[in-house]
């Protein structure tokens, strides 16, 4: 009986690990993202985008499952964030960082839906 238990546990653990390893995740901001945003938001730095990602993960996941940026067109993200900024306790500067990060990744056709 012990082998069967080990087999069941190992199968589940392996399945979860494989799923996790293959799964899309919210990618980190890159210097190329900052360059791509420059025409729209001059002066945006990589640090701004990294802060935006961190805020998005920490503040937004308390209310809903996170949505990958590519799930919505770029132009929808500012309005979506504005609609939930109060509930997520985002100050105006923080709201800007989150919007810029989401727009940066959403406008990157390659990585918008994950790694």
Partner 1 sequence: MRRVLQAVLILAVSAAAAAASERHFTYTYESGVLRPGGREIEPWNTFRLGKSDFYSRLDTRLEAELGLTDRLQTSLYLNFKAVAADTPLGRTSTTELQGISSEWKLKLSDPVADRAGVALYGELSAGPSEVEIEGKLILDKRVGRLLGALNLVAEHEWKFDEPETERETVLEVDAAACWFLTPRLTAGLELRSRTVLLPGEEPTRSALFLGPTVSYAKEGWWVAASVLPQIRALAGASDGRLDLEEHERVEVRLLFGLEF
| 10 part of the interface to partner 1, by CB under 8 A | no
Among 39, 63, 86, 109, binds partner 1 (CB under 8 A): 63
Q: Which stretch binds partner 1 (CB under 8 A): 29-37, 41-49, 63-71, 102-110?
A: 63-71
What lies within 8 Å, CB to CB, of 115 at 6+ separation is: 24, 25, 27
What minimum distance in Å lies between the beta carbon of 16 and partner 1? Answer: 5
Token digits for 95?
């709201």
**Residue span 74-103 as binding mask against partner 1, x where in contact by CB under 8 A, dash where not:** --x--xx-xxx--xxx--------------
DSSP assignments along 11-31, one per residue: HHHHHHHHHHHHS---PPP-H
| C-alpha distances out from residue 21 to 14, 17, 86, 107, Å | 10, 6, 34, 25
Question: Which token pair is 64?
Answer: 């809903």
Binding site for partner 1 (CB under 8 A): 1-2, 4-5, 8-9, 12-13, 15-16, 19-26, 53, 56-59, 61-68, 72, 76, 79-80, 82-84, 87-89
């Amino acid at each position: 009986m012990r082998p069967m238990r080990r087999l069941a546990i190992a199968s589940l653990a392996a399945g979860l690990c494989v799923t996790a390893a293959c799964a899309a995740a919210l990618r980190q901001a890159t210097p190329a993202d900052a360059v791509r945003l420059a025409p729209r938001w001059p002066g945006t730095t990589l640090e701004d985008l990294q802060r935006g990602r961190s805020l998005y993960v920490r503040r937004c996941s308390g209310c809903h499952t996170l949505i990958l940026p590519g799930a919505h067109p770029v132009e929808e993200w500012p309005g979506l964030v504005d609609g939930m900024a109060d509930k997520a306790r985002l100050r105006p500067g923080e709201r800007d960082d989150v919007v810029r990060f989401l727009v940066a990744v959403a406008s990157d056709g390659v990585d918008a839906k994950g790694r």
